[in-house]
């Protein structure tokens, strides 16, 4: 037996079921079902997507490695170039700082004319403390001209050729500079040594010399201009049976870090050799 509903009734039933389902959904009764379905869908999509990406990676990796290697090589070259530039710039900054200090010194001491020079070498003999600078007679440099940095006296020009000059440092064993102690206005002689240490000699026994006294050039003898900073007294040796006191000096200039120098070009050293008496015939 076949039961048949009228078509309109079927439509009404379907509409009622649909409205009921919508009402249940709006009422939140389907939340567990929808969340389960959503989770299932997301899991499935994740699985598919992951597998797809794995396959895609597998197919495209060889090309990427090659391009990455090329890119890596390019970047390495660029990094090397940049590192070179950084080192170059750091060196320039250091040089600029040194030159800036030298310019400040020149401005603070306008009574002298200066020529800046770079040290390009040391004397080949370990017995001598001389440096070679990159300016010479073509730049107006003459033997005997004093050499300074912003920290103070360095030495004097010993020999000159057209484009270079040799400077005798005041730490050289044969160097002798007439100086004075600023606090007591005592005259003394600064001498170097084979080890590069500086010491004061010919200090009168009556003079009051204390550690920390500032040492300046005296200008006596005309070899160096007066009042150039030399260093400080670090120790004093006074023995009653000796004619003079002695003192060790810490130079203001760091002779191990010398890079740039200033040659005082308008100071003419006095040649006192003709004044020294020689034994007659």
Stretch that binds other proteins, among 32-40, 41-49, 127-135, 220-228 (CB under 8 A): 127-135
Stretch that binds other proteins, among 35-43, 120-128, 207-215, 224-232 (CB under 8 A): 120-128
- Contacts of residue 197, defined as CB under 8 A and 6 or more positions apart, other chains included, come to 171, 248
Which residue, 165, 148, 145, is CA-closest to 265?
145
221 belongs to the binding site for other proteins (CB under 8 A): no
- Distances in whole angstroms, Cα of residue 35 to Cα of each of 21, 24, 26, 30, 44: 16, 15, 14, 9, 14
Please identify, using beta-carbon distances, which residue of 168 and 178 lies nearer to other proteins.
168
126 belongs to the binding site for other proteins (CB under 8 A): yes
Please identify, using beta-carbon distances, which residue of 101 and 128 lies nearer to other proteins.
128
Please identify, using beta-carbon distances, which residue of 123 and 187 lies nearer to other proteins.
123
- Contacts of residue 167, defined as CB under 8 A and 6 or more positions apart, other chains included, come to 130, 131, 132, 133, 147, 154, 155, 156, 157, 158, 261
Number of residues in contact with other proteins, rule: CB under 8 A? 21
Contact map string, positions 129 to 168, toward other proteins, x by CB under 8 A:
-x-x-------------------------xx------x-x
Q: Which residue among 66, 194, 211, 239 contacts other proteins (CB under 8 A)?
A: 194
248 belongs to the binding site for other proteins (CB under 8 A): no
234 belongs to the binding site for other proteins (CB under 8 A): no
Q: Characterize the bridge pairing of strands 198-204 and 214-217.
A: unpaired
4 belongs to the binding site for other proteins (CB under 8 A): no
Q: Which residue among 106, 123, 142, 143 contacts other proteins (CB under 8 A)?
A: 123
Please identify, using beta-carbon distances, which residue of 19 and 161 lies nearer to other proteins.
161
Q: Which residue among 3, 4, 8, 195 contacts other proteins (CB under 8 A)?
A: 195
Alpha-carbon distance of 216 to 213, in angstroms, equals 10
Longest dimension (CA), the chain: 166
273 belongs to the binding site for other proteins (CB under 8 A): no
Q: Characterize the bridge pairing of strands 186-191 and 260-264.
A: unpaired
Instruction: With beta carbons less than 8 A apart as the criterion, state whether 200 and 233 touch.
Output: yes
Alpha-carbon distance of 13 to 21, in angstroms, equals 12
Segment (H or E) for 61? helix 31-108
Q: Which residue among 33, 48, 174, 211 contacts other proteins (CB under 8 A)?
A: 174
- Contacts with other proteins, residue ranges (CB under 8 A): 120-128, 130, 132, 158-159, 166, 168, 173-174, 193-196
């Amino acid at each position: 037996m076949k039961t048949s509903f009228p078509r309109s009734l079927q439509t009404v039933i379907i509409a009622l079921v649909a409205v009921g389902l919508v009402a249940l959904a709006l009422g939140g009764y389907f939340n567990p079902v929808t969340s389960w379905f959503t989770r299932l869908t997301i899991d499935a999509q994740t699985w598919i997507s992951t597998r797809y990406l794995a396959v895609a990676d597998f197919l495209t990796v060889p090309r990427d490695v090659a391009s990455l290697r090329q890119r890596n090589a390019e970047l390495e070259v660029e990094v090397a170039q940049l590192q070179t530039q950084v080192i170059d710039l750091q060196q320039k900054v250091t040089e600029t700082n040194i030159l800036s200090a030298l310019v400040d010194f020149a401005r603070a001491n306008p009574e002298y004319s200066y020529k800046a020079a770079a040290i390009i070498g040391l004397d080949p003999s370990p017995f001598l403390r001389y440096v070679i600078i990159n300016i010479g007679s073509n730049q107006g440099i003459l033997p005997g001209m004093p050499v300074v940095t912003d920290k103070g006296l360095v030495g004097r020009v010993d020999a000159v050729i057209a484009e270079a000059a040799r400077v005798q440092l005041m730490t050289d064993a044969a160097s002798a500079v007439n100086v004075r102690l600023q606090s007591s206005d005592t005259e003394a002689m600064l001498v170097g040594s084979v080890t590069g240490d500086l010491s004061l000699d010919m200090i009168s026994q009556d003079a009051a010399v204390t550690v920390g006294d500032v040492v300046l050039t005296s200008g006596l003898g005309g070899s160096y201009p007066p009042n150039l900073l030399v260093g400080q007294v670090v120790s004093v040796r006074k023995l009653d049976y000796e004619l003079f006191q002695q003192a060790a000096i810490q130079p203001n200039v760091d002779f191990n870090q010398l890079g740039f120098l200033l040659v005082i070009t308008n100071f003419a050293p006095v040649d006192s050799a003709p004044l020294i008496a020689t034994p007659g015939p």
